[in-house]
Amino acid sequence: MNSASKPVKLLNAAVIVASLGYFVDIYDLLLFGIIRIKSLTSLGVSADKIDSVGMWLINIQMIGMLIGGIIWGVLGDKRGRLSVLFGSILLYSVANVANGMIGGENAIFWYMVWRFIAGLGLAGELGAGITLVSEVLPKEKRGIGTMIVASVGISGAVAAYFVSEYFGDNWRICYYIGGGLGLALLILRISVVESGMFNNIKQSSVSRGNYFKFFTSKERFFRYLKCIMIGLPTWYVVGILMTFSNAFAEKMGVQGPINPGKAIMICYAALTFGDLASGYLSQIMRSRKKVLYIFYTLVLISVVLYFNLYGASVQLFYTVCGVMGFSVGFWAIFVTVAAEQFGTNLRATAATTVPNYARGMLPVISLMFGGLQTAGLSYLQSGLATGVICIVLAFGFAYSMEETFGKDLDYVEE
pLDDT score recorded for residue 192: 72
Establish if 411 belongs to a structural domain: no
DSSP-derived 3-state class of residue 377: coil
> pLDDT tens digits for 17-67?
889 888 988 898 888 878 888 999 999 888 888 888 988 898 898 888 889
pLDDT score recorded for residue 190: 61
Establish if 197 belongs to a structural domain: no
Neighbours of 221 (CB within 10 A): 13
Establish if 381 belongs to a structural domain: yes
Distance CA 268, CA 393 (A): 23
Domain that holds residue 94: 13-189+215-399
Report, as an integer, the average pLDDT of 176-191.
84
Distance CA 348, CA 201 (A): 13
> At residue 2, does pLDDT exceed 50?
no
Establish if 199 belongs to a structural domain: no
Establish if 200 belongs to a structural domain: no
Contacts of 278 (CB under 8 A, 6+ apart): 147, 291, 295, 329, 330, 332, 333
Distance CA 65, CA 117 (A): 9
Give the H/E segment covering residue 161. Answer: helix 139-167
Establish if 410 belongs to a structural domain: no
Distance CA 354, CA 138 (A): 23
Domain total of the chain:
1
Establish if 406 belongs to a structural domain: no
pTM value > 0.85: no
Query: Which residue would you say has higher pLDDT here, 325 or 135?
Result: 325
DSSP-derived 3-state class of residue 255: strand
Report, as an integer, the average pLDDT of 335-352.
89
Report, as an integer, the average pLDDT of 336-364.
87
> At residue 300, does pLDDT exceed 90?
yes
What CATH number is associated with residue 279?
Answer: 1.20.1250.20
Give the H/E segment covering residue 213. Answer: none
Q: How many residues does the chain have?
A: 414
* Residue 115: band (very low, low, confident or very high) from pLDDT cuts 50, 70, 90: very high
